[in-house]
Amino acid sequence: MFFAQTIFSQLVALLLLALTGWVLTRTGKIADDKPLNALLTNVALPALIIANLQTPYSADLLRDMGLTFAGMMVVFAVGWPVGTLAARLAGKTTPRKGAWIACTIFPNAVFMAQPILAALYDEQVLILIAPIVLAFNLTCYVLGGWVLSGEEGEAYGLKYILLKPPVLSCFMGLALFFLPFRLPAAILSPMKMLAAMTTPLSMIIIGCQLARITPQSLFLDGEVYIVSFVRLVVTALVAHGVLRLFIADPTILGVVTISGSMPCAAILPIVAKERGGDSLFCSKMVLISTLLCVLTVPLLLQLLLR
């Protein structure tokens, strides 16, 4: 019971942060969330990755990071056919079909999973955020961009993906991880302060984005509830079943399962807009799946990870 209560309390706290962004936007205090997005993706998230990787190198830790990366790739690999099948059964066509598939594949594995992992495990486990971020960004911009563009557009170029600050910071953090020295406190301390901003910023941004959608359009769209069920329950269950076949370590299995059980990734509306996809549906999915995960995630993880 404590396990489920811990997850539930963390999720409620995240929703309150999103509500803050919603209120600030609806009252006109925030007119444009682009600066917040830029701060999150270009500064706070890279700082989180590099700061978490400031730990002594060990072969066991490197193995754990590799296994976590592989596990997240399995989560995405499972979500693709599940989302494709769901969209096909529902008779969806482009661009809505692409939105169904992308929202099923990609969970909010970094920003929402991080506080839950910190609450359930020792904070040292947050070093595994780096391979999760790397797997997510590489896959989201390649596969996600292609799917959201209707499977006809070109994928993002490799140079574009590798130079994204979150991806670049993964390689920088790994390079520092292998070196025999750590960053001085004068540099690491502000990095940790910036890292602490990632989850609050991401949830406030979600609230800002969703303040621009009318409640009628948001809550009366039956499709978002179907896709939310597929993302939060079906994909999470199937992925966990596959992960158990090759991940014996209970901590790594828990980290990947929790990350893969999160709601729709907050970045998908932005990618959809860039690639000509259904960004409005992705925005709806972010909020509805985030609201519903307060019920599904504690129950599901209590069942899977007890």
- Measured CA angle at 223 (ends 221, 225), to 5 deg: 90
| 151 has pLDDT over 60 | no
**Mean pLDDT, all residues of the chain:** 88
Measured distance CA(252)–CA(272) in Å, rounded: 31
Identify the pLDDT of residue 141.
Answer: 82
- Of how many residues is the chain composed? 306
- Measured CA angle at 220 (ends 234, 146), to 5 deg: 50
CATH of the domain at 247: 1.20.1530
Measured distance CA(98)–CA(84) in Å, rounded: 8
Identify the pLDDT of residue 134.
Answer: 87
User: For the segment 66-115, what is each residue's pLDDT rounded down to a tens digit?
Assistant: 999 999 999 999 999 999 999 999 998 888 999 999 999 999 988 888 88
Identify the pLDDT of residue 156.
Answer: 65
Joined tokens for residue 128: 């595994």
Measured distance CA(227)–CA(232) in Å, rounded: 8
Measured distance CA(74)–CA(258) in Å, rounded: 13
The predicted model scores a pTM of 0.88
**Number of structural domains the chain divides into:** 1
Domain range spanning residue 190?
Answer: 2-305
User: For the segment 245-264, what is each residue's pLDDT rounded down to a tens digit?
Assistant: 999 999 999 999 999 999 99
Measured distance CA(125)–CA(28) in Å, rounded: 39
User: For the segment 20-39, what is each residue's pLDDT rounded down to a tens digit?
Assistant: 999 999 998 888 888 888 89
- Measured CA angle at 31 (ends 287, 222), to 5 deg: 20
Output the CA–CA distances (angstroms, integers) from residue 149 to 75, 88, 154, 162, 172, in the order listed.
21, 17, 8, 20, 31
